[in-house]
Chain A
Amino acid sequence: QQKVQQSPESLSVPEGGMASLNCTSSDRNFQYFWWYRQHSGEGPKALMSIFSDGDKKEGRFTAHLNKASLHVSLHIRDSQPSDSALYFCAASEHSNNRIFFGDGTQLVVKP
């Protein structure tokens, strides 16, 4: 069973719009969460990490974590065509370095 589930599978937003990506996990041992972004032809790159409940904002990107519900989200405001990419949610436990990745959300920002 997939430990990290993402939704939606794909998302299309207009340039300047808000993109919202969601992620839930089924393992209450997960303590640490990330959003990774992968542009076509490249490897994934960590976009944001979030380890505490609440919001974490970095520029146009805001991550939200609710550990009680094992839900993490990523909101991208003022979306740009360069934000078009595959976004992965990832989670890990306290005790080891293995990261579990979701299946990804394909974001397309249309000019």
Chain B
Amino acid sequence: ETAVFQTPNYHVTQVGNEVSFNCKQTLGHDTMYWYKQDSKKLLKIMFSYNNKQLIVNETVPRRFSPQSSDKAHLNLRIKSVEPEDSAVYLCASSRPGQGRDTQYFGPGTRLLVL
């Protein structure tokens, strides 16, 4: 049963455009994450938010920015997309426990940059 929702499912755009992806979780979790899954299926953490505060910010390009209105929502904006941004972007959530909490993932947003 899906409890982490992502929109859109799929997005095609051209180099230089701005895109925005949405994520919502109904699990009551306090921590949310964005991952990038590349063509080799590798999972790379991009950001995490705990109660609207950024607590992890990996070395991603500045054109990526997370946006959160409340603890149930975490969006991702990409200004001026590049071809290497083509990937699947996965949103996840978890309780803010001491490392032992399972992360729950959404179905992903597939981005194709032409």
Q: How far is the CA of A43 from the CA of B107 in the complex (A)?
A: 4
**For the side of the interface on B, what is the size category?**
20 to 34
State whether A43 touches B90 (Cβ < 8 A).
yes
Distance from A47 Cβ to chain B, minimum over Cβ atoms (Å): 10
B105 touches A97 (CB 8 A): no
Q: Which residues of B contact A103 (CB under 8 A)?
A: 40-42
Chain A residue numbers with a CB within 8 Å of B106 are 43
Contact B104 A31 (CB under 8 A): no
User: Contacts A43-B90, A45-B105; is A104 near B98 (CB within 8 Å)?
Assistant: no
The answer to whether A43 and B99 have CB atoms under 8 Å apart is no
Q: Are A43 and B31 in contact (CB under 8 A)?
A: no
Task: Please report the C-alpha to C-alpha distance between residue A42 and residue B94 in the assembled complex, in whole angstroms.
Answer: 18
- CB pair B103–A46 under 8 Å, yes or no, is yes
Q: Which residues on the A side are within 8 Å of B100 (C-beta)? A: 31-32, 49, 51, 92, 94
Interface size in chain A (residues, C-beta < 8 A): 26
Say whether A97 contacts B90, CB under 8 Å.
Answer: no
Answer yes or no: A69 CB below 8 A from chain B CBs. Answer: no
A11 contacts the other chain (CB 8 A): no
A94 adjacent to B43 (CB under 8 Å): no
The yes or no answer to B101 lying at the interface (CB within 8 A) is yes
Interface, chain B (partner A; CB < 8 A): 4, 31, 40-43, 45, 48, 50, 56, 90, 92, 94, 96-108
Q: Which 9 pairs between the two chains have the least Cβ-Cβ distance?
A: A43-B105, A101-B43, A92-B99, A46-B102, A32-B100, A94-B99, A44-B105, A43-B107, A43-B108
